[in-house]
Structure 1
Amino acid sequence: MRIFLPFYYLFYSRLKSNISRIAWIFTYIIPIFIVSYLSNIEFIFTFLLIFSIYFTYEIGYIYNDCEVIKKEINPTLRLKKEDIQYYEKYKLIIYSIRILFLSIIIGIIYLSYPYYINPVFYTLGGILFLYIIHNSIRNHWNILSYSLLNFFRYFAFFSFIEQDVFFCFLLWIIYPLCVTIEFSSKSRFYTSNYIKIPNFDRFRVFYYILLVFISFPLCIIIFNKYTIIFLILSFYFALYRLLSFFLIAKKYRNT
């Protein structure tokens, strides 16, 4: 029955270790609250937004792990055999209950924060649409769908609120671009011939330090809410990646 609970499937299938769960808090939850705070968005609504996004995202995860693998030659198996059997037996109930819970959250948002309902619909609808596309193809276009999925999971809502292309671009640079570069270095993509990343932790440190150096003059030239958010998030991720890198290096030195 726990598969019906929000975030359970995320932790069960993706974030299995305590370290990965802590990292998720620092790389997702905190940045979302930072952007919400700087955008004067209510604290409670941000919780509801995160719940609705991950309820939607987990539907994509479940479909990918239980349905898409049937079409693949060498699928990535994230679930045990008994989990797949449970899914096959109760999949209609699983999807129905999850859609019901998601509808309740959307209903709460509609009643309590009606001015946010359209951006929420666009965000959740975009995630479902992109997941259908992402799970339907297995070629180089997955790089684009992966990048867009990450953007919608992180920052699409704020882009729909502001309706500013420049702000949208800055938010994409902050996180989705970084993970897209990493994703495109996988051997199954032709881009791996040009993108070589021997050490992902070191690459992330370099990436965010570079963003800090870019965000400073940008904030001086164009001083507004968008560049301030870009500057703060660049500093935040740079600090987080630096600390993570040194902690990992210290761990290996002590072993």
Structure 2
Amino acid sequence: MFFGKKKMLNLLIYRLFFFVPFCYFFKTRLIKKSNKISWFFIYLLPILLVIFSEKNVNLSSVLSVFMYILSVYTVYEMGYIWNDTETIKNEKKPTRRLTVTELDFYEENKKLIYLSRLLLVLIFSLYFFGSNIYYFLLFNIFSILFLYVLYNSIRGVLNLPLHFLLVCFRFVTPVVAFTSISFIWVVLLFPVINLLERASENRFGLYFFNDFLLSDKKRGRYVYYLILFFILLLFNAPFSILITVVFLFFYRFASYEAIKLWSDK
């Protein structure tokens, strides 16, 4: 009886993180509490800061932004799932994020997982039906799916530009959808520094980036935003972008100093 209940509970948990938006992302990508905090400060908060510096904050606008981000992550997690279950089958040293039991559950239910997520994101998109955002969101959704097909079938340096585009469709498009800010300004907030850091990984063999200051995941992060702030001032960037860069600089600087202080103890 006990083992029967435990099995049912496990099945319920699997259904939750394979089917419910954000659950898979939080389980496999934001494992530590520090990861969750970092995601909030470098992804969610900057997006909200830029958008609501440009438009009025009310229930309707907050709900719209939430529905857009929810739609993006519902489809983005499909790429994560595919990477963790299908792509690893062709890798010599795959990163295993799922248990054998979880992989078995996936194999038995994968058609349902993908179809239900696709149906779910199309239902979410109906919230914007009749507006220009509806068509922009559909473009966003299917671009992510197309890019993930390429990304999960290619390994090597070509992964870098594909991953950069994926990050743009996750980070930049919500801002572009709700404001008149040029996507170029938004790309500079996160996708560029993310690309520089990723290029420093040994698997890509781009050794120049190993010692490149702005690819340093500690000091390079706040130095990047300090340099970016003065460049943005020079080119008369929108106030919402400037204030977000200031916020990211202080967050990265405080994070670096906190980590340094902790490691010195």
Q: TM-score higher than 0.5 here?
A: yes
8 Å contact from structure 1 (residues 69, 75) kept in 2:
yes
Shift of 1:158: 3.5
> What percentage of residue pairs aligned between the two structures are identical?
30
SS at match of 1:200: coil
Match of 1:222 in 2: none
Moved over 3 A (4+): 157-164
SS at match of 2:156: coil
Match of 2:95 in 1: 76
8 Å contact from structure 2 (residues 50, 241) kept in 1:
no
Distance (Å, rounded) in 1 between the aligned partners of 2:24 and 2:256: 28
Partner residue of 2:249 out of 238, 245, 249: 238
Match of 1:186 in 2: 201
Match of 1:85 in 2: 104
8 Å contact from structure 1 (residues 218, 227) kept in 2:
no
8 Å contact from structure 2 (residues 197, 217) kept in 1:
yes
Is 1:102 aligned to 2:121, yes or no? yes
Deviations 1:18-63 (A, max 9, x none): 1110111111111111122133272110100110010011011001
Cα 1:23–1:162, aligned 2, differ >3 Å: closer, same or farther?
closer
8 Å contact from structure 2 (residues 226, 249) kept in 1:
yes
Structure 2 segments unaligned to the other structure (5+ residues): 1-14
Is 1:2 aligned to 2:28, yes or no? no
Shift of 1:151: 0.8
Q: How do 1:31-46 residues align onto structure 2 when only pairs under 5 Å count? A: 31-40=46-55, 42-46=61-65
8 Å contact from structure 1 (residues 49, 120) kept in 2:
yes
Point out which structure has higher relative CO (alpha carbons under 8 A, 6+ apart): 2
8 Å contact from structure 1 (residues 182, 197) kept in 2:
no
AA matched with 2:81: I
Structure 1 segments unaligned to the other structure (5+ residues): 220-225
Distance (Å, rounded) in 1 between the aligned partners of 2:212 and 2:100: 34
8 Å contact from structure 1 (residues 185, 192) kept in 2:
yes
Match of 1:223 in 2: none
Match of 2:7 in 1: none
Cα 1:160–1:6, aligned 2, differ >3 Å: closer, same or farther?
closer
Deviations 1:80-108 (A, max 9, x none): 11111110011111112212221221122
Count of aligned pairs between the two proteins: 244
Distance (Å, rounded) in 1 between the aligned partners of 2:209 and 2:221: 18
Shift of 1:203: 1.0
Shift of 1:163: 7.6
Match of 1:48 in 2: 67
Match of 2:240 in 1: 229
Distance (Å, rounded) in 2 between the aligned partners of 1:183 and 1:84: 28
Is 1:16 aligned to 2:35, yes or no? no
User: TM-score, normalised to structure 1's length?
Assistant: 0.89
Distance (Å, rounded) in 2 between the aligned partners of 1:159 and 1:83: 37
Distance (Å, rounded) in 2 between the aligned partners of 1:83 and 1:194: 37
User: TM-score, normalised to structure 2's length?
Assistant: 0.85
AA matched with 1:173: L
